[in-house]
Structure 1
Amino acid sequence: MAVKLAFIGFGGVGQGLLQILQDKKEKLKQEEGLETIVVAVADVMKGSVYDPEGLDADQLLQLTREKKPLDEYKGTARTVFGLDSLETIKETNADMIVEVTFTDVKTGQPAVDHCKAAFQAGKSVITTNKGPVAVSYQELSKMAEENGAFWGFEGTVMSGTPALRLPLETLRGNSIEQITGILNGTTNYMLTEMEKGLSYEEALSQAQAHGYAEADPTSDVEGYDARYKAVILSNVVMNSPLQASDVACTGITQITQDMLTDAIERGKRIRLVAKITRTETGVEAVVKPEELDVSNQLATVPGATNAILFDCDLAGPILLTGAGAGLKETGFSLLIDLIHFERQRTAVRQ
């Protein structure tokens, strides 16, 4: 039985997932038993379209490439236009909501409300939005469980690099005492470019030119992005609820080229590090620039790459590195969740 998808938000990440599903349609069917049908798309800028029998994925992608609104979709008598995001979630026959809207990470909105509406309707959700997991993890997890819904959010920490799936599945049986990570590619890129001789301003400008940093880079350079990811790791992997306000946070705005050069001369590297530690009184987390010995596995992580080190009691230190951003990589993180949804659904039917 095909999974009926509704995209809430249809920017680069949503389009990336749909393109992957098109490109790998036969492989996914043969190897994973995963078939998908897009029945609805709702985007605050592009408009919305719904067909209970399924939409033409190639036509949807072509419209977005041509920057045309979704109301130019050539449908049938069944095709419905103009539903908003909540109507799309509640009133369509989708069973999986792909929540990829532009969301305020501080409040988790509108993604939190989208997740709640889906779970209340007994529908599953996959998302790449950090906000709902950082702000409302316990509440939303309980709602999903009570309504028999799947909630996937692999892409919220390191995009397509499985920073959540690895510890929750492959490292099961271990007690993870500490998680240390370079969780923001923008700042890591800037620091490594500054080590090569660029000033802070030059490194930031170059990061923006490459698309690593936004026009307003505050979330990256002040450490806020890494702080929300630390909260997610504490909530999900350490099973210890934290709020962003619990995490002390210092960014890289005060780091100078001279400081980086001095550290290198002493056999060290400065990196923006998120650290989540299990203590006798609970879990503590901090994000700040740290001097790391050059022998430290995180010290030599290059450019925009992310890395995370799990300190396990049985397996020892496990290092995972990979892209922490990118449309294809983030689209892949949604595919990871879709595959696991299908496996769970198949197991229940058997």
Structure 2
Amino acid sequence: MTHKLALIGFGTVGQSLVEILREKGEELRRKEGMEAEVVAVSDLLKGSLYHPEGLNIDRLLQAAGEGDLNRYPEVPGLVRGWDSRRTIRECNADTVVEVSYTDVRTGQPAIDHCRTAFETGKNVVMTNKGPVALAYRELSELARRHRVGWNFEGTVMSGTPALHMARTSLAGNEISEIRGIFNGTTNYILTQMEEGWTFDEALAEAQSRGIAEADPTSDIEGYDVLYKVMILAQVVMETPLDRKEVVREGIRGITAEDIRQAREEGKCWKLLGRIRREGDGVTASVQPLRLSLTDPLAGVGGTMNAITYDCDLAGPITLVGAGAGRKETGFALLADLIQRVQERP
């Protein structure tokens, strides 16, 4: 049976997923039993399309590449102009792929997109951090009540399966602490500073290479990692956290002298997100810390991410991989979709 998809947001990540589905369609059918069809796309800037029998992928990507879905050719049965909420409510998709531009401070409009999807019996896969960090308990209960699935692997380490590993491969362990490098921009800057660059030089280079945004505040001040810590606390530690409960400090204050002193002590600086179980609750922080060079996280350089789970049975387990990237994030969505298809009755 064909699994029908509605994409809410059709920027870099959404287009990457569709390209993967086009390139690997036959392999996915043969190996995973997954046959996916895009029936709807709604993007705030590019426009919206819906056809109950499916959209032509090549024409869809061509129109998106030109920045205007209205360039998609007219065919019988095609509907244009629906907003995102109407698209979710009225289309015949099995799963909504939520990759809209979302305000991470409020989780909107993605939280409302999830509510609408669940209430109309549709699964959701997403890469938006806001809804998971800010409304995990409500949305999980809503999905359970309506007997639909909600997957969000890409919210922490993109295509690197940090959440999947904790919930499946490490099942049966009690995880007492999670530590990780969850932001490639700050890790790249600190790695360059180890090579003798100043903070400002490293930041400028990261911006010129597209690693850092023109406004890098979310990365260098630790806000991006803050939300990932909140997700890990809720999903893995099963303990909700408010933003105000997480100690947050960025890397702007790290100097060349700090780097030199750490090196003399056989250590290096990393911006770490940490969640530690204490009694019935947890404590959490986002801070630059000096790590011994023997720590597995110390050797993770450049834009790479990593996470260490301290387990009572398996001991410390460290996973290293890309924490961002067009194809990597598209893969995270694909992995979630495969799970949705395989768990479908």
Q: TM-score range by the shorter chain?
A: over 0.9
Displacement of 1:340: 0.5
Q: Does 2:312 align with 1:313?
A: yes
What does residue 56 of structure 2 align with? 56
Alignment partner, residue 47 of structure 1: 47
Distance in 1, Cα, partners of 2:215 & 2:24? 36
Paired letter, 2:135: S
User: 1:8 — aligned with what?
Assistant: 8
Say yes or no: does 1:196 pair with 2:195.
Answer: yes
Look up the SS of the partner of 1:291 in the other structure.
strand
How far does residue 76 in structure 1 lie from its aligned partner after superposition?
1.4
* Superposition map of 1:77-156 within 5 A: 77-156=76-155
Q: Which runs of 5+ in 1 are unaligned?
A: none
1:25 alignment partner in structure 2: 25
SS in structure 1 at match of 2:299? coil
CA shift at 1:215, angstroms? 0.8
Contact residue 303 and residue 322 of structure 2 kept, 8 A: yes
Alignment map for 1:326-341 (pairs within 5 Å)? 326-341=325-340
Matched AA of 2:17: L
Aligned to 2:213: 214
Shift of 1:325: 0.2
Once the two structures are TM-superposed, the CA of residue 212 in structure 1 deviates from its matched residue by 1.5
Alignment length (residue pairs): 345
Q: Tell me how far 1:63 sits from its aligned partner.
A: 1.6
On the 8 A contact 1:311/1:318 being kept in 2, the answer is yes
CA distance in 2, matches of 1:75, 1:262: 65
Match in the other structure for 1:294: 293
Would you say the 8 A contact 2:63–2:70 is kept in 1? Answer: no
* Cα distance in 2 between the residues matched to 1:6 and 1:17: 12
Which whole-Å CA distance do the structure 2 matches of 1:37 and 1:301 have between them? 38
Alignment of 1:236-255 (within 5 A): 236-255=235-254
Q: CA RMSD of the aligned region, Å?
A: 0.8
Paired with 1:209 and 1:221, the residues of 2 have a C-alpha distance of 16
2:38 matched residue in structure 1? 38
Pairwise CA distance, 1:68: 3.8
Q: TM-score, normalised by structure 1?
A: 0.97
The aligned amino acid for 2:323 is: G
Gaps of at least 5 residues in structure 2 are none
Code of the aligned partner of 1:43? D
Letter in 1 for 2:26: E
CA distance in 2 between counterparts of 1:290 and 1:28 reads 43
Find the aligned partners of 2:298 and 2:39 in 1 and give their Cα distance. 46
Q: Is the Cα–Cα contact under 8 Å of residues 50 and 92 in structure 1 kept in the other structure?
A: yes
Cα deviation code 1:304-338 (max 9, x no counterpart)? 00000000000111000000000100000000100
Paired AA for residue 180 in structure 1: R
8 Å CA contact 1:134, 1:244 repeated in 2: no
Compute the displacement of 1:209 (Å): 1.4
Q: Does the 8 A contact of 1:309 with 1:320 survive in 2?
A: yes
Instruction: Give the Cα separation in 2 of the matches to 1:193 and 1:129.
Output: 29
* Partners of 1:41 and 1:50 within 8 A in 2: yes
